[in-house]
Structure 1
Amino acid sequence: MSIFDNMMMNNVKNEKQSNMKKNSSKSFKEEYSEELANNVSRYGIQSYSKSGVAFEKLSETQAEISYSGLLAKSGAQEVHGVYGFGSNQNWEGVSTIQLKKEGEGTFKAVFPIEQGKNINVAFKDSVENWDNNSGMNYTFVN
């Protein structure tokens, strides 16, 4: 290896380290993160915007879910929400609700919620294709 090659490799290495330091100083943001859990208004919209899922708490006992995700984009004519409360690892009170088609590619439903418990949702179409956020489900803070 020549001196020139060695200098070039060191420059690239130093540049990568510099970029890593810059990126590590930025705060981590994720659609469902600690920031979302701690900064949720009493009533408001929470969303997985890239996945086409939005949740709006309407009252202490009702919420609206809006879905324009993978199943809708794939042409589903019917979408059901399977939802439960509490831990995403151990759902309680599991129910299914049919979402109403609201225009092209959007489905909505109003459903009951339980005070103080997170809401976990996955979606399926009429032929059992599922959208469950790559196995993570869609979880909303209540």
Structure 2
Amino acid sequence: MGVILDKSVTVHNLVEGLDRCWPRTPVLLQRKRVAVLISGSGTNLQALIDHTTEQNSNSSAEIVLVISNKPNVQGLTRAEKAGIATKVISHKDYKSRDDFDEALHASLTSTGIDIVCLAGFMRILT
């Protein structure tokens, strides 16, 4: 009878052959539009801005709006310096929590927000 040799297969140019069969197309995910709600200095917001704008972070989020329930807070300045749109929706301008929530919801909806991040936002939402 015969002798069994080590079973092995050598494939030359495997990667090139596979590329011809299934070209590698990078999957580009559309970044999620994020609104960040704040009430103060924006230190949490700054960390989010830094991460989403880092070149090598591969973040799938883009902060497109910062809303504060208080005017003239440092967090709004941080957002403006980063080129992010800002808006103040003061809870004091509304008779009830529901009215405030509806105004907030309308602003988020009209901007096409995918994700809302509460970063030091000091109001209870319903």
TM-score normalised to structure 1 length: 0.23
State the structure with more CA Rg.
Answer: 2
Which structure ranks higher in relative contact order (CA pairs < 8 Å, sequence separation ≥ 6)? Answer: 2
Query: Which has the larger helix fraction?
Result: 2
